[in-house]
Structure 1
């Protein structure tokens, strides 16, 4: 079990308690290393305490108060080699005091021992008082005791420029070109450390810092000049492209300007990720008088504190009087233990003044339109929001929009951070060599083919009975999801990415329009996005048909258990009866056990044969799980006719609401009802009616 302990006031850390098998002595470093493969950095315990048994209350429940505090043996250490030399011994004493340890080894890692961003600031303050002043970037790049001492001993540390140690290494390993994460207005690179841990990419990850930019002798006076400084730092690590850049808030805007400068010098830009980054024009209409500057300062103080104030106490921040007295708010933080006691007034002020220097650079910036493709990851949009945050028309029409959810602040915090990392991982992975086209019916070479996209987790064969009833001279191809037959292959995680890959495959069969498209359920979203991308490329889409497709929008996250229950509901619709399994029965099972159980039920129901391997169901679930956690908001309207064919056996009110949303995304919209439910409408005896509707639409002039 894992609990949060605060053995030293203001220093909360995760501690894991475990029972070891007989004859085994778990090593904290190895346990942490294994957990790091599936958990974000902020979720990893700082210590692992092995017990002979868990302490219990007289009622037989776990006695949390009796759990012992972690000692040296519980910490994540890297050997017992003692600190060597005066600098290492001085650092070791400071580390022990801050981390609550009796001793540390010279190869121990500050962050693995339980250090975090706020403790890092305390460490820097303590070091400065002993004459060992360094920058935050230097600590992050050299986290072991010996490394840090070596930096202090063998080179003079310069705090005059925040660019001295740029870029900061967040993750050093990786065979593919690195990802550079660009600071937001605070200039602090550490805001990206949780994201860097959660990205499942084979790339080094660096962060660009500008904390304390305003304290330098000649700070950049424009965002273009700031970007130029970062270009120099990036080229020190990676002299030539392809470059991968991303940033949250203003960091996304700076990423765009960096990409422009690199592109203008002849370099290739492979990826630009903007995390809820607004086009500067969206803010330039605001009144920036003295009063609004004070309001902006107040906003930044509250946003910074919200990261550290418990949610139950955040209402106190909303009650602060404007303009906020920074000295008073600092003492309020001390009173409520919101910040560690060694975080000084100057530390808070440094970040706020960095914000107030850098943000106006962004407000004065006017991005030059360019053929640069961006991936825009946004918080949940308000009804009045431009979902493209003002970038549509400035960037390439091939750009992708991914609605993550949350707010501008919480998009970088759990649970939305996990979804953000997942989407970015998908966009940063190398292009798959999968071939999605499945020939369903050869037809006649002179006829325009029909491309069909199955629903979530479904294979091309979900259209088999339907295709058999379409005209024999009609060529029919199905586009099958990536990862369906190989669970080691990452499924598409965005509609836009799926559509791009499918268009490439379609053009191999039919280089030019007019195109005919059909999408069932989730496949309707993909078909619609394919139509939009073809439309942007100047191609003609003659027929676009969606079959019982949910209206576009933001989906709430779906858990593993929720995805299994959704898959069961799909099979229930196919069978027209319910499988004998409940959610409560699956709740206590491990994820793989749930699939084994469902596999056996499907064999008993006659869906699978005794020879059907479990891997077939695993592939279906693999793709379905990804699809259920994919949201979609079209970036523009479809300028043709959108034909919607819906299942008769469905909730009428829900269908009308769904159709009302679809009408907003198409110039013309038609709707038809077809017999059957969401699944049986594709099979006999209902497939005949559906085939008739489709044939009628395809034969229209």
Structure 2
């Protein structure tokens, strides 16, 4: 039996959209201003040539594809488009800073990646917040093909991200939105904002974590389990693939399983999809180890922090943030970046209220 044949088969049941199809659903639903399915015809669902151009541009930004109008005319449903044009990755492999919605009159929002390094868990938030403003995604540079010399500390990553943001916005204002470990990155961006001339307006952190009491590195077999579980949770496939223990964790198998979970069962034997998951795993390791080692000095920033009910790190945040920290504990059963998917309407309304842009 070869490695490709060892990928755990998903359990029987209805076929759920792959992560790429979920991204396309987010884009189409945002452009058309109503929910769609993978089998809806774009033009019969209300699309026209202008909306098609905006949809194509957003897809190309999010996924790094090279679609044109002819592609959308030939493949008018998400199911057809994904089958014909799907790439073996679920992120733009050309740019770390990508645009996730069309421009608008309100102040842009930059969504900063969480622990995996991807920004696609923010798709529903973009649909809620990006109807009259540009939303951007800041993903890990390690997801970009050919990336070299990526810092392994949060302070170093913040410097890299500050360059990208300054190139895009100059001194214009933008807001930050993040979750999980991205909160620490936003702390560092806030620290260096004045010196770098960054126009950071307000910052929202959902279920942010600090590990100021950490006593050492987590063994890699345990990190592999966390990576495996995070991918399954984000892609909504937890019930379709078996759980693993640290004793069972083997990197090649984990990469193939996560490729199948995100991109469809056939991706588990697609070496290009596995290569993408390898970059994603490298991003995850950098972020996990960076967060464990992160020991910030006090930072004068203002934050809205929306915690999952079992997050007990508020005291640590208060010890670091010397600006105004507004905290709220959510009653949801979800946590981490999954909160941004399941509770998007409430989080968006709370964010708009905090930004003062009703």
TM-score, normalised via structure 1 length: 0.40
> Could you tell me whether the CA contact under 8 Å between 1:79 and 1:107 is conserved in 2?
no
Could you say which structure has the greater relative contact order, defined with CA pairs below 8 angstroms and 6 or more residues apart? 2
Render the CA deviation track for 1:110-153: whole Å, top value 9, x for unaligned.
Answer: 9984279x959973349xxxxxxxx943xxxxxxxxxxxxxxxx
Tell me whether 1:108 sits opposite 2:108 in the alignment. no
Match of 1:44 in 2: 36
One of 108, 111, 118 as aligned partner of 1:178: 108
Match of 1:191 in 2: 121
Match of 1:366 in 2: 295
Quote the Cα distance in structure 2 between the aligned partners of 1:276 and 1:267.
24
One of 216, 220, 224 as aligned partner of 2:155: 224
Quote the Cα distance in structure 2 between the aligned partners of 1:46 and 1:326.
32
Quote the Cα distance in structure 2 between the aligned partners of 1:78 and 1:198.
22
Match of 1:556 in 2: none
Quote the Cα distance in structure 2 between the aligned partners of 1:9 and 1:193.
14
After superposition, the Cα gap between the structure-2 partners of 1:277 and 1:10, relative to the gap in structure 1 and judged at 3 Å, is closer
> Could you tell me whether the CA contact under 8 Å between 2:225 and 2:245 is conserved in 1?
no
Tell me whether 1:400 sits opposite 2:326 in the alignment. yes
Match of 2:5 in 1: none
> Could you tell me whether the CA contact under 8 Å between 2:162 and 2:198 is conserved in 1?
no
Tell me whether 1:324 sits opposite 2:249 in the alignment. yes
Tell me whether 1:123 sits opposite 2:94 in the alignment. no
Render the CA deviation track for 1:420-460: whole Å, top value 9, x for unaligned.
Answer: 22211221233xxxxxxxxxxxxxxxxxxxxxxxxxxxxxx
After superposition, the Cα gap between the structure-2 partners of 1:229 and 1:338, relative to the gap in structure 1 and judged at 3 Å, is closer
Match of 2:205 in 1: 274
- Tell me how far 1:218 sits from its aligned partner: 1.8
- Tell me how far 1:310 sits from its aligned partner: 4.0
Summarize the alignment of residues 541-690 of structure 1 with structure 2, pairs less than 5 Å apart: none
Q: What 5-or-longer segments of structure 2 have no aligned partner? A: 1-12, 51-67
After superposition, the Cα gap between the structure-2 partners of 1:331 and 1:206, relative to the gap in structure 1 and judged at 3 Å, is closer
After superposition, the Cα gap between the structure-2 partners of 1:394 and 1:120, relative to the gap in structure 1 and judged at 3 Å, is farther
Corresponding pairs, count:
322
Greater helix share, 1 or 2?
A: 2
After superposition, the Cα gap between the structure-2 partners of 1:7 and 1:258, relative to the gap in structure 1 and judged at 3 Å, is closer
Task: Name the Cα RMSD after superposition.
Answer: 4.4
Summarize the alignment of residues 113-512 of structure 1 with structure 2, pairs less than 5 Å apart: 113-114=77-78, 119=82, 123-125=86-88, 136-137=91-92, 165-199=95-129, 202-212=132-142, 216-265=147-196, 269-282=200-213, 284-285=214-215, 287-288=216-217, 292-310=219-237, 312-313=239-240, 316-317=242-243, 320=245, 322-329=247-254, 339-342=264-267, 344-381=273-310, 385-386=312-313, 388=314, 390-396=316-322, 398-404=324-330, 405=332, 406-414=334-342, 416-430=343-357
> Could you tell me whether the CA contact under 8 Å between 1:330 and 1:345 is conserved in 2?
yes
After superposition, the Cα gap between the structure-2 partners of 1:265 and 1:409, relative to the gap in structure 1 and judged at 3 Å, is closer
Quote the Cα distance in structure 2 between the aligned partners of 1:209 and 1:367.
22
Q: Whose Rg is larger?
A: 1
Quote the Cα distance in structure 2 between the aligned partners of 1:336 and 1:269.
36
Quote the Cα distance in structure 2 between the aligned partners of 1:295 and 1:310.
20
TM-score, normalised via structure 2 length: 0.72
Render the CA deviation track for 1:133-192: whole Å, top value 9, x for unaligned.
Answer: xx943xxxxxxxxxxxxxxxxxxxxxxxx6x63420011222133111111232223232
Q: What 5-or-longer segments of structure 1 have no aligned partner? A: 14-28, 49-69, 81-103, 127-134, 138-161, 431-489, 491-701
Quote the Cα distance in structure 1 between the aligned partners of 2:14 and 2:74.
18
- Tell me how far 1:219 sits from its aligned partner: 1.8
Quote the Cα distance in structure 1 between the aligned partners of 2:328 and 2:200.
20
